[in-house]
Chain A
Amino acid sequence: MQPTLEQKMWMYEKMVVSRRYEEAIAAAYMEGKSPVFNMANGPVPGEMHLSNGQEPCAVGVCAHLKDEDTVTATHRPHHQAIAKGVDLKRMTSEIFGKANGLGGGRGGHMHLFDDDVNFACSGIIGQGLGPAVGAALSQTMQKKSGIAVAYIGEGAANQGAFHESLNLAAVWNLPVVFIIEDNSWGISVSKQKSTAVEKNSVRAAGYGMPGEYVAGNDPLEIFKVAGEAIERARAGKGPTLLELQTSRLAGHFIGDAEGYRPEGEKDALEADDPITKFRSHLIEQGDATEQEIENIETAAQAQVDEAIAHARASEDPAPEDALTSVFA
C-alpha cells in the first residue's frame, strides 16, 4: 500500500507541524524555569513529555483515519493529537491552562480530549488500551464503521492491561489496531532490561492476531503496514498488533538529565532524524521541490506560532471553575 502524493505531503506537513510544535512548547515550558528549574513555574507548569523523533508513528497511522475513528494516546500525545486533527489552538490553550482549552484547563498536556475527532490521552501506562477496545465495541454494536487505534509505548507492553486488552479485542473480533511506539526506553529503563522478548510484535501470537514489527522509523513503511492493519479492521477481520521502531530525541520529560543513555546514543539518533530523511526522500523522488518543502515548513511554523499566540492571549479560568464539570 503506497500513499498518494497528497498523502505523502500531508504526512510531511504534519510531521513538521508536530516538531515545530514541540520546539515551541519546550521554549514556553522553559520560561520562568531558570535559573532554578522548578516544574511549578512558568506559563506551562507540570511534567512535559515531548514526542520529537516519533512523528512517523503518528502520521503513518493517522493518515488512514477518519474523524469517527478513535485514537487513545499516552502521556506523550502531541504528535498523535496533531496527526488525528485535534484543534491545535484549543489543545495549546489546554497546555497553557486556559479557559478556552479543550478541558478548560482541567486536564493539561496528559489529558487532552477532543470529542470532535475522537481523540483522548491519559497519564497512566496502559490506560488507553481498554477504552480503545470499548470504542471499537461501541462502533460494532451500533453497526457503525469506525475503528479504534490504541497507542502505547513499548514499556506499556509489560502492563497487565496490554495483555487483557489484546485478548478481549481478539475474542470479540473487534476493529482495533494496537500500535506500540518502540523508542527503546521507559524513562530510564531500557526495553532490553524490562521486556522478555526482543520484539513485542511476537506477543500477538498469544492472542491469535497478526503482529508485525516495523523497523526504520520510516513514515512510508509505517503507512503501508498500518494501512493493511486498518483495512483488516474495517473489513471485520479483527485486531492487529504493530510495533514501530522509533526514537525519543528528547528526554523522558523536560528536565531529564538522561544520564542512563549510553554515550553517543543521542548523537546517533539525532543524525538519523526522520524528518530530515523524509525531506530528502521527497526531494529525491521528485515529490516536491525545495521551494514547496520550504513553503510547508513556513506554513507549519506559522500555524504553530498562531496556536501559541492564541493560547497566551487567552483568558485564565476563574479559580472556582475548578469546582465545576465534575459530573455531566
Chain B
Amino acid sequence: MSDTKERKLTIARAMAESVAQYMRKDEKVFVMGEDIGVLGGVYGNTRGLIEEFGEERIRDTPISETAFMGAAVGAAQNGMRPIVELMFVDFFGVCFDQIYNNMAKNIYFSGGNVKVPMVLMTSTGGGYSDGGQHSQCVYGTFAHLPGMKVVAPSNAYDAKGLMNAAIREDSPVVYMYHKGLQGMGWLGTERGATVNTPEEYYEVEIGKASVVREGTDVSIVSLGMGVHHALKAAAELEESGVSAEVVDLRSLVPLDRDTIRASVAKTGRLIVVDEDYHSFGVSGEVIASVVEHDISVLKAAPQRVAFPDVPIPYAKIMEQFCLPNADKIVATYKKMAA
C-alpha cells in the first residue's frame, strides 16, 4: 500500500474495480444477475461494467435464480469463471439446491477432477427497516455447509483484495457484502468502510483474519458491519481505561482459528459480535474455536452480541432493539469484567 497517494473507495466501487480489472485480463470472467447491467447493481457493485464489457459478459438475468445459479455452476465446470449475484442473500431460498448440493459439492464428488471457479456475491444485513425477507445475514447458514469458501469484507481495501482472490480461486466463493457498508447513501453510510484502496492488483488471502486494533483486555471478534460496531465500542472502552483488541474475521470459511486463539490467549476475554441470528451460527463457532482448544486462557465466560433468535422485525424501534451496536458491546464487557 502506498501511503503517499490516498485513493478512498467505497466497497461498491472497490468491488466493481476488481471485477473490471480482472475481466480485462481474463476473458473467461463474466457477470450475471438481476439488475447488474444498465442499473449497475442495486448496490452499485457492478456500476460501469456494462458500458465497458457489453451485454455478452455483463448479463442481466430473468428473475430465475435456480436457473442462473445452476448456469453459473455449469459454466464454471465448463471452463468459464462466472461471477453471479444474488441480489439479497435472503433470496437464497429459491436457489439453495444449486448452491449447496451442486456448487459446494461437485469438486468433492468428482474427486477434484472438476473445478467450480465461481464467485457468488450477495448482499447481507439490515438496520434500515426493510423487513424480515430483506435484512438477514445468514452467515452461519452458508459457512455451515462444507465445500464453499465464504468471505465478508468490512472495508473497501479488503473488498477489492478478497474479490481478486475469490475470482482467482478454483473453488466456489460466497462473497457476502453488507448493504450498510456499500457507501450507497440511501442505505446510510458507514464512513469506516470507505478506505484507501490501491489501484494495482493485490489479493487479501481467503482464510486470514486481521487484527484491526490491538488491545490487551478483551478480544472483540466480528465481521462485516460488526467490525465497525466493535471499533466504536473499543474507542469507548478506551476512555474508561480498557484496552480492546478487534479482530476482523474477513473470511468465515476457512476460519482463521489461529488468529482468534492468539488474540484471546493474550486478552483472556472474548466477545463475538454477529448480526446473524444468535444460535447455531458464527458466534458459537468462534467461541468453540477457543474453548475446545484451551479454556485455561479465559478469565471470563465468552459472550456474544448477536441478533436474537427471531425473524427480523420491520418497525425501527424493534429492529434496532435486536441489532448489535457499540453500546451493547460495552455493556457486555462491563458485565464480564465485573
Q: Which A positions have Cβ atoms within 8 angstroms of B?
A: 36-40, 45-47, 94, 97-98, 103, 105-111, 122-126, 155-156, 158-161, 186-189, 193-195, 255, 259-260, 316-317, 319-323, 326
Bound: A161/B66 CA distance, A: 10
B residues in contact with A155, CB < 8 Å: 62-63
Secondary structure at chain A's binding surface: helix, strand, loop or mixed?
Answer: loop
Q: Are B133 and A123 in contact (CB under 8 A)?
A: yes
The 4 A-B residue pairs with the shortest CB-CB distance in the complex, in nearest-first order: A108-B314, A97-B315, A105-B315, A319-B321
Which residues of chain A are within 8 angstroms of B313 by Cβ–Cβ distance?
105-106, 321-322
Stretch of B32-40, B147-155, B289-297 contacting A (4+ beta carbons < 8 Å)? B32-40
- Kindly report which residue of chain B lies nearest to residue A159, judged by CB atoms: B63
A–B complex contacts, Cβ < 8 Å, 16 sampled: A39-B130, A40-B127, A46-B131, A97-B129, A107-B131, A110-B133, A159-B65, A160-B94, A186-B63, A188-B60, A189-B34, A193-B60, A259-B39, A319-B321, A322-B313, A322-B319
Residue-by-residue, is B173-207 near A (CB-CB < 8 Å gives 1, otherwise 0)? 00000000000011110000000000000000000
* Cβ B130 vs Cβ A106 within 8 A: no
Q: Do B314 and A46 touch across chains, with their CB atoms under 8 A apart? A: yes
Interface of B: prevailing SS: loop
Cα separation A46 to B321 with both chains bound (whole Å): 16
In the complex, which residues of chain A have a beta carbon less than 8 angstroms from the beta carbon of B128?
38-40, 45-46
Contact (Cβ within 8 A) A158 B93: no
| Interface positions of B from 298 to 338, Cβ below 8 Å from A | 308-311, 313-322
Q: Mark interface residues in B104-133 (1 if CB within 8 Å of A CB, else 0).
A: 000000000000000000000001111111
Number of interface residues of B (CB under 8 A): 44
In the complex, B134 has a CB within 8 A of chain A: yes
* Interface flags, B58-83, vs A, CB<8A=1, else 0: 00111111110000000000000000
Q: Does B280 contact A (CB under 8 A)?
A: no
Residues of B within 8 A of A316 (CB): 315, 317
Q: Kindly identify which residue among A39, A111, A188, A319 contacts B35, using a CB–CB cutoff of 8 Å.
A: A188
B285 at the interface (CB under 8 A from A): no
Q: How far is the CA of A320 from the CA of B320 in the complex (A)?
A: 10
Which residue of B is nearest A193, CB measured? B60
Of A126, A319, A322, which is within 8 A of B94 by CB? A126
CA distance A105 to B94 in the complex (A): 26
Determine if A260 and B63 form an interchain contact, defined as CB atoms under 8 angstroms apart.
Answer: no
Asked if B318 and A106 sit within 8 Å, CB to CB, the answer is yes
What residues of A have a CB within 8 angstroms of the CB of B53 in the complex? none
Q: B169 in the interface, Cβ–Cβ < 8 Å?
A: no
By a CB distance below 8 angstroms, the chain A residues around B316 are: 40, 45, 97
| A47-B63 contact, Cβ under 8 Å, with A106-B315, A319-B317 | no
Which of A109, A188, A319 is within 8 Å of B318, CB to CB? A319
Q: Which residues of B contact A (CB under 8 A)?
A: 34-35, 37-39, 42, 60-67, 90-91, 93-94, 127-134, 185-188, 308-311, 313-322
Instruction: Report how far A244 CA is from B187 CA in the complex, Å.
Output: 34
- Chain A neighbourhood of B130, CB < 8 A: 39, 46-47, 108
Give the chain A neighbours of B66 by CB distance below 8 A.
160
A111 close to B186 (CB less than 8 A): no
Q: Are A317 and B317 in contact (CB under 8 A)?
A: yes
Tell whether A40 pairs with B188 under 8 Å between CB atoms, given A124-B133, A126-B94, A189-B35. yes
Instruction: Let me know if A159 and B317 touch, CB within 8 A.
Output: no
Complex CA gap A105/B186 in Å reads 22
CB-CB under 8 A for A326 and B129, given A124-B94, A194-B62: no
CB of A121 to closest CB in B, whole Å: 11
B34 contact set on A, CB distance < 8 A: 186-187, 189
A122 to chain B, nearest CB (A): 7
Contact of B63 among A39, A46, A125 (CB under 8 A): A125
Q: Which of B60, B131, B133, B309 has the most CB of A within 10 A?
A: B131
Query: How far apart sit A109 and B321, CA to CA, in the bound complex (Å)?
Result: 20
Q: A110-B131, A158-B63, A189-B60 are in contact. Are A105 and B311 (CB under 8 A)?
A: no
A194 to B93, CA, bound (A): 21
Q: How far is the CA of A260 from the CA of B90 in the complex (A)?
A: 25
Contact B310 A37 (CB under 8 A): no
User: What's the least CB distance linking A9 to chain B, in Å?
Assistant: 35
Q: How far is the CB of A2 from chain B (nearest CB, A)?
A: 36
Q: Choose among A40, A188, A189, A319 the residue that contacts B129 (Cβ–Cβ < 8 A).
A: A40
Q: How far is the CB of B327 from chain A (nearest CB, A)?
A: 13
Q: How far is the CB of A137 from chain B (nearest CB, A)?
A: 21
Pairwise interchain contact A188-B39, C-beta atoms closer than 8 A? yes
- Are B318 and A105 in contact (CB-based, < 8 A)? yes
The CA-CA distance from A189 to B38 in the complex, in Å, is 9
Cβ-defined contact, A46 with B129, below 8 A: yes
| Smallest CB separation, A305 vs chain B (Å) | 23
Q: Report the bound CA distance from A156 to B65 in whole Å.
A: 11
| Contacting pair B318 A321 (CB below 8 A) | yes
Contacts of B62 in A (CB 8 A): 155, 158, 186, 189, 194-195
Closest A residue to B39 by CB, please name it.
A188
A326 and B132 CA atoms in complex are apart in Å by: 12
B residues in contact with A255, CB < 8 Å: 186
B64 to chain A, nearest CB (A): 5
Shortest distance in angstroms between B191's beta carbon and chain A's nearest beta carbon?
14
